[in-house]
Structure 1
Amino acid sequence: MNLGLKDVHVLITGASGGIGLATAKEYLAQGAKITAHYNTNNRTLAPLLEAHADVLHAVQADVSQEDAVARLFTEASARFGPVQIVIVNHGISPEPETPVADMSLERWRRTLTVNLDAVFLVTREYLRGLRVASDEAKAKAAIILIGSTSGKYGIAGKADYAATKSAMMYGLTLTLKNEIVKIAPLGRVNCIAPGWVWTPMAEVLKEQPEKMFRALATMPLKKIATAEDVANQIVISSSAKVSGHVSGQVIMVEGGMEGRLLNLPEDIAKEQAGAN
């Protein structure tokens, strides 16, 4: 399907990771021009850069730093003109799982810095650039934030990560969709929120059957998403042609998940036995 994205300039943060890389490939298939952001490792982008040097440009930046974000957008605009669509995909999910009672303030602040402060910096710089863009460029304007099921249901041992995703999915998405139209009247803001996705972060599921069971137990589709499942929703939601009247939405890509499985049968049996 032609989504009307040919020659549209898309900036993807965290483009070297599983979802980011899959998203870059989907935009390339649509004929978009892409600025692919990475922080420390661009090896996964190398084959794409070699094959699509005319429409794909990689830029390194620590997006938690204000000056680095400004440079990222300056380099992007110098190569392909103003950024029309921004996909805010970067983020960290610290290990090990640590309850709030045992979590350090250092870890909490680090996660909020990368997952929330940096999101603010990226979206702010995008909107500032949009202010001076042409009406033609503004007509394609869209912000896609990447949330998570943890932002809806929480996740034990990762309150820092869940809190940042909730903030993006609700407070930030719902505010930005009202603000972007003051700059670009047809601009839209949506959030794509996946559950478990087959990326390197999900490899733990293969080694821990109980964790895999918990991941699938409340999911009607009973399968883990692929990065392409998420990328497809990102690209479709960003398209003014097919999603031009969709804004302020949190689109869950989680196989119909209904919540978290908190207890296994043996957990309940043990609790009941202790009460008797």
Structure 2
Amino acid sequence: MSLDFGLKGVHVLVTGAAGGIGLETVHTFRQLGARVTAHYNSRIGELANSTDIVALQADVRDEKSVDKLLSNAAEKNGGPVSVLVVNHGIWPEDNKHIVDMDLEQWSNTMAVDLTGPFLLCRAYLRVLKSADDSTKDAATIIFIGSTAGKFGEANHGDYSAAKSALMYGLTPTLKNEIVAIAPRGRVNSVNPGWVSTPLAQNALKDTAFVERALATTPLQKVAKPEDVARQVAVLASPTLSGHVNGMNVMVDGVSYFDSSTDLGLDDEVVGRNGVHRSSPA
């Protein structure tokens, strides 16, 4: 039996799409026949060589830049966005307890990881209001959350707080609000644990390092970007997930770690947050 995801010709916008999970998500939707707009901030990466993907730059912290992103996506890629995948994010490398964290770091993390998603969702919904029925029928917002949003993460309270707000604040709120614009609209969150990216190869050669990172993961393996991207596609599908709404789907191998301990894996290397980190500047 072959599965029809119902995504052929559907316009999908993926933020933070220059690499890692974002780029894999772009490729997955293209394989399913979707029209894909790929957002990037400061580096375009291999998107520059794509002939079947519309790549657009925007600073997610800036209101006008985000509004322009949604309008340009509609203009350059055949109409308004139906599926919004909020994948971008930053994770400050310095380990800092809340007591030692300066306001500048907190404010910048919130601007990128929380205010950015707010601006994107608002712009998306405003455009969706005047869209045709076919666009509204496929309307879906999918956040990329994190295990840190569920369990917390010592030394990274800013990141944990922002991801938790997406998962447990915006997801259930927007799933109630989107239906006022698109009666079949849905909002869900996909929340990864450890994810292997190309930058992770050297770290993953250290067996002891990986064993420590996976000490509380029953599946005992590091996820691949496609593991997350495929779950995003399943949730985006009105055929496969048309009655799945307001859910937080953990894609973490069932990870139950002690949030008081920093396991030491740099998210830039292994992608604990499940997104491709990008500088907002």
Global fold match (TM > 0.5): yes
Task: Tell me the residue number matched to 2:110.
Answer: 112
In structure 1, how many angstroms separate the alpha carbons of the residues matched to 2:95 and 2:197?
A: 18
Q: CA deviation at 1:208?
A: 6.8
Unaligned runs of 5+ in 1: 265-276
In structure 2, how many angstroms separate the alpha carbons of the residues matched to 1:262 and 1:237?
A: 32
In structure 2, how many angstroms separate the alpha carbons of the residues matched to 1:128 and 1:263?
A: 42
Task: Tell me the residue number matched to 1:170.
Answer: 168
Within 5 Å, which residues of 2 pair with 1:1-276?
1-47=3-49, 49-50=50-51, 52=52, 56-79=53-76, 80-199=78-197, 202=200, 205-206=203-204, 212-260=210-258
Secondary structure (helix, strand or coil) at the match of 2:37 reads strand
Q: Size of the alignment, in residue pairs? A: 259
Unaligned runs of 5+ in 2: 263-281
Change in 2 beyond 3 A, CA 1:200/1:115: farther
In structure 2, how many angstroms separate the alpha carbons of the residues matched to 1:244 and 1:193?
A: 19
Pairwise CA RMSD: 1.8
Q: What are the Cα deviations for residues 67-117 of structure 1, in whole angstroms up to 9, with x where unaligned?
A: 000110111000220100000000001112211121111001000000000
Letter in 2 for 1:42: I
- Maintained 8 Å contact 2:153/2:259: no
TM-score (norm 1): 0.89
Task: Tell me the residue number matched to 1:272.
Answer: none
Secondary structure (helix, strand or coil) at the match of 2:189 reads strand
- Maintained 8 Å contact 1:217/1:261: no
Q: CA deviation at 1:8?
A: 0.2
In structure 1, how many angstroms separate the alpha carbons of the residues matched to 2:159 and 2:200?
A: 16
Task: Tell me the residue number matched to 2:267.
Answer: none
Q: Which has the higher contact order (CA 8 A, sep 6+)?
A: 2
Whichever of the two has the greater Rg, that structure is 1
Secondary structure (helix, strand or coil) at the match of 2:59 reads coil
- Maintained 8 Å contact 1:214/1:260: no
Secondary structure (helix, strand or coil) at the match of 2:239 reads helix
Letter in 1 for 2:8: K
The percent identity for this pair of structures is: 49
Q: What are the Cα deviations for residues 16-52 of structure 1, in whole angstroms up to 9, with x where unaligned?
A: 12000000000000010011000011122133x13x2
Q: What are the Cα deviations for residues 146-169 of structure 1, in whole angstroms up to 9, with x where unaligned?
A: 100000111111111000000000
Change in 2 beyond 3 A, CA 1:11/1:212: same
- Which has a greater percent of helix? 1
Letter in 1 for 2:218: P
- Maintained 8 Å contact 1:218/1:261: no
